[in-house]
């Protein structure tokens, strides 16, 4: 239990169940690298542990039809939350680059209750979009990703700026209320949403949409740059 840093990159892990087993024998882990493993079952690996009648993917009754779920999502404009992942109470950095993760809602949001997680590396996963993960009624009582300050989203197939807009709500739904931390550092390259514009324009748009950002692609965001970006976009 003295191990605090563990690198399991490219170790042929094929289930998140293996990762959770690591937590049981190394409860004081602070940095965990799992790049190039297959963690595509993050949304289902513990389905047998879910309460009876609960859908692990969406937190809804299992007898509810997909059509009813989609109708409810459209009416609420909120994607239902899956169950959060337990354990990893000391974890500060998690690298899951290239781990076959394709859903912010079904997979990434399960990490929201890790209390010490400050750095999350999601590069090279076909995530596609970032959705709001919290209903208004939950906002007063829950604080997802409470410590997260740095996130890497390079080559994750983001196709719309609405995903960047959602990042503040998805990670910090209580922004503006004085609670929780904020995204201060972002790596955001090689995504379809920026493919038709210059690097300078992509940087300006990103800065304008994330008011708490201090570093973008490892380059500091100066006061003048922020003012100019927000004025332009």
Looking at the chain, the whole-number percentage of residues with pLDDT higher than 90 is 66
109-136 pLDDT, tens digit each? 999 999 999 999 999 999 999 987 654 4
Helices (H) and strands (E) in the chain, counts: 6, 8
pLDDT for the residue 57? 40
More confident residue, 52 or 42: 42
pLDDT surpasses 50 at 159: yes
Query: H helices within the chain, ranges in order?
Result: 16-25, 66-76, 136-139, 162-171, 199-209, 223-232
Give CA 131 to chain center in angstroms: 10
Residue 23: is its pLDDT beyond 90? yes
* Mean pLDDT lowest among 17-21, 73-77, 147-151: 73-77
- Split at pLDDT 50, 70, 90, the class of 218 is very high
Work out the average pLDDT over 202-226: 96
pLDDT tops 60 at residue 53: no
pLDDT band at 60; cut points 50, 70, 90: very low
Question: pLDDT category, 141, cuts 50, 70, 90?
Answer: very low
Task: Tell me the CA distances in angstroms from 27 to 5, 21, 37, 86, 195, one per residue in order.
Answer: 11, 10, 21, 12, 42
Burial 134-157 (b: 16+ CB within 10 A, else e): beeeeeeebbbbbebbbbbbbbbb
- How far apart CA 80 and CA 73 sit, in angstroms, is 7
Say what the pLDDT of residue 81 is: 74
pLDDT of residue 129: 94
> 169-173, 176-180, 218-222: which has the highest mean pLDDT?
218-222
Tell me the average pLDDT of the chain. Answer: 82
- Specify the pTM: 0.82
- State residue 181's pLDDT score: 53
Q: Is the pLDDT of residue 202 over 60?
A: yes
Would you say residue 105 has pLDDT above 60? yes
Contact between residue 19 and residue 34 where contact means Cβ atoms under 8 Å apart = yes
């Amino acid at each position: 239990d003295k191990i605090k840093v563990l690198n399991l990159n490219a170790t042929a892990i094929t289930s998140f169940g293996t990762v959770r087993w690591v937590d049981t024998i190394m409860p004081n882990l602070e940095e965990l690298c799992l790049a190039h493993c297959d963690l595509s079952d993050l949304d289902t690996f513990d389905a047998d542990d879910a309460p009876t009648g609960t859908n692990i993917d969406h937190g809804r009754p299992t007898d509810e039809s997909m059509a009813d779920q989609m109708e409810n999502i459209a009416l609420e404009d909120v994607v239902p939350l899956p169950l959060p992942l337990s354990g990893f109470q000391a974890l500060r950095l998690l690298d899951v680059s290239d781990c076959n993760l394709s859903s912010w809602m079904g997979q990434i949001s399960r990490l929201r209750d890790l209390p010490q997680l400050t750095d999350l590396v999601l590069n090279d996963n076909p995530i596609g979009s970032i959705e709001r993960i919290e209903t208004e009624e939950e906002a007063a009582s829950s604080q997802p990703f409470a410590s997260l300050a740095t996130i890497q989203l390079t080559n994750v197939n983001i196709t719309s700026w609405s995903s960047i807009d959602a990042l503040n709500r998805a990670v910090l739904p209580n922004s503006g209320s004085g609670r929780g931390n904020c995204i201060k550092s972002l790596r955001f390259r090689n995504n379809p949403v920026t493919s038709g514009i210059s690097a300078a324009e992509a940087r300006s748009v990103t800065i304008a949409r994330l008011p708490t950002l201090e570093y973008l692609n490892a380059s500091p965001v100066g006061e003048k740059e922020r003012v100019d970006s927000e004025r332009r976009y």
